[in-house]
Amino acid sequence: MAQDDPTTLVSTAWLAAHAKDPDIRVLDASWYLPSDNRDPRAEFAAGHIPGARFFDIDEISDHRSDLPHMVPPVEKFMSRVRALGVGDGHKIVVYDGAGLFSAARVWWLFRLMGHQSVAVLDGGMPKWLAEGRPVETSPPIIRDRHMTVRKNAGMVRDVTQVAQASKLGNHTILDARSTARFRGEAPEPRDGLRSGHIPGARSVPFTQLLNDDGTMKDPDALRAVFDAAGADLDKPVITTCGSGVTAAVINLALERIGKTDHALYDGSWAEWGAFPTVPVATGDT
């Protein structure tokens, strides 16, 4: 069992013990690929962790962009989070219906916006249900709460910055997609994208960072995964994936091993794979 840390990862036992604390706010950040044929809002309505509020990754995003669920403008983030009754002084726990998948994206988003007291529920809803813990269907009573935002621009990267990092080799770029997609051997789920990876990137499929029950591996095992991938953690790290969701699982894992100089490429392969002027590599390197 991972050591509980309210700034990175907490266990279901920890949440059960603290669920009724007045400063705890629980967010269901479930999001699925279209191929999963799952409706996160419907699942939330059918049963969620008591007191949870639904955080819509697609809605709380920058709708001015053609790319999926990009980081929202600060003002939009503040207004949506306030409407969820989440604000200054709250300890936030984020979970999802897959175990540990999309919740890490919302953990990273709150950290990007300057909120440090936020953790992912290790094992998420599947583990909570497997342990016979309570769920409810009624919506929570929400009271507005102001949240101060201090955006940390160093935690996010755009295509120009990633292209420069790829060319100079002064960052370690870690790709959370499957090995087959990284190598260019499997087609991308989004139409119109080239297959392959950012030159110089290393393959760290996010599933390799998890145990069979959907919980995150312990720090020693996480370090072993990064070592096996040839990831140079002496350099700053940029994470990437298909659309900026599972990349955050790598960011969370890095934070768990004490690696703090990491950023996420928000556009990820949805942008890079469609960008005609950036190079694409195939194979293992």
Residue 144: predicted pLDDT: 85
Domain ranges of the chain: 9-151, 154-272
Residue type, 13: A
The sheet carrying 53-54 orders its strands as 9-10, 118-121, 91-95, 24-28, 53-54
For the chain, percent of residues with pLDDT exceeding 70: 99
Task: Tokens for 110, please give them.
Answer: 């709150």
The answer for 166, left when phi > 0, alpha when psi is -120 to 50, beta otherwise, is alpha
pLDDT tens figures, 92-121: 999 999 999 999 999 999 999 999 999 999
Task: Tokens for 101, please give them.
Answer: 């998948």
9-151 and 154-272 have identical folds? yes
The CA-atom distances, in angstroms, between 187 and each of 30, 179, 182, 196 are: 25, 12, 10, 9
- CB-based contact 238:163 (threshold 8 Å): no
Q: Report the C-alpha gap between 123 and 131 in whole angstroms.
A: 11
Query: 241, 247, 249, 263: which one is catalytic?
Result: 241
Q: What is the pTM of this model?
A: 0.97
Residue 3: predicted pLDDT: 84
Q: Where does 9-151 sit in CATH, by number?
A: 3.40.250.10
- CB-based contact 194:277 (threshold 8 Å): no
Torsion of CA 251, 70, 12, 254, to 10 degrees: 0
pLDDT for residue 269 is more than 90:
yes
The sheet carrying 262-265 orders its strands as 156-157, 262-265, 237-240, 172-175, 202-203
Tell me, yes or no, if 241 is annotated catalytic: yes
3-state secondary structure of 53: strand
Q: Report the C-alpha gap between 131 and 107 in whole angstroms.
A: 24
> For 143-171, what is the mean pLDDT?
95
pLDDT tens figures, 28-72: 999 998 889 999 999 999 999 999 999 999 999 999 999 999 999
Residue 285: predicted pLDDT: 75
- CA proximity to 102, closest of 255, 246, 211, 267: 246
pLDDT for residue 1 is more than 60:
no
Band of residue 2 on the pLDDT scale cut at 50, 70, 90: low
Mean per-residue pLDDT over the chain, rounded? 96
Topology, domain 154-272: Oxidized Rhodanese; domain 1 (3.40.250)
